[in-house]
Amino acid sequence: MKAIMAVTGLCLIGFLLMHMFGNTKLLLPDNGAEFNEYSHYLRRFLYPIVPPMWFLWAFRVFLLVCIALHMWSAAKLTGRKSRNVGGARYANKKTMESSFAARTMIWSGVILLLGLIMHLLHYTAQVLRPGYAPGVTDLTPYDRVLAGFGVWWVVLAYVIFMVAVCLHIYHGCASAFITLGANVSAGSRKLLKSLSGIIAALLFIGFLVPPVMILSGVIG
């Protein structure tokens, strides 16, 4: 169970790093040309071996399966640990885990999931439309990001979203490697903690630079 949680968690961290590096194209002074091109490229990836969108849909299914398995194993493990400590709720057991990030994994996970659903409804499905002009449906990915992050409370929501994402990863990344057997010495444990801290900080800064630059008018 723990191994499933670790492997799916690491896959999702890999996706986040790729997504964050893709978003750095927003920083180019080309009015979104590279960013839109990148999005277009992802839709036609592996064409003509497979038709356009097939790779993207396969990747979406893969991400969904990872998220579902991650949540399922988390629920199972939480239930098991609750029973082991005489019915006390694992998430609130201050004594079992040390750091704030470790004790709040369930809550950061819930905020992360809600933030992700909002994110997909806003930028992918375009069902939620804060910042978008009414009736306009042919917005490019760059237009959507620019319009969305022009709204102060959307940026504030992303700050909260990213705090949850990065707290979750700060504990989860090291924990995943330890589960998979990388915890061979006190030194390696320390190294894993530092690595997790660096990845969480990189994602926090990398994901929040574009929204803050857009809101402050530096981009766009």
Task: Kindly list the residues in this chain that would bind ligand HEM in the complex (CB under 6 A).
Answer: 16, 19, 23, 39, 60, 63, 116, 119-120, 123-124, 141, 144-145, 158, 165, 207, 210-211
Nearer to ligand HEM (CB atom), residue 90 or residue 200: 200
Nearer to ligand HEM (CB atom), residue 90 or residue 144: 144
Query: Least CB distance from residue 35 to ligand HEM, whole Å?
Result: 8
Nearer to ligand HEM (CB atom), residue 42 or residue 96: 42
Nearer to ligand HEM (CB atom), residue 92 or residue 124: 124
Query: Least CB distance from residue 41 to ligand HEM, whole Å?
Result: 10
Nearer to ligand HEM (CB atom), residue 20 or residue 90: 20
**The amino acid at 63:** L
Query: Least CB distance from residue 95 to ligand HEM, whole Å?
Result: 30
Query: Least CB distance from residue 201 to ligand HEM, whole Å?
Result: 14
Query: Least CB distance from residue 62 to ligand HEM, whole Å?
Result: 10
**Which residue lies nearest ligand HEM, judged by its C-beta?**
39
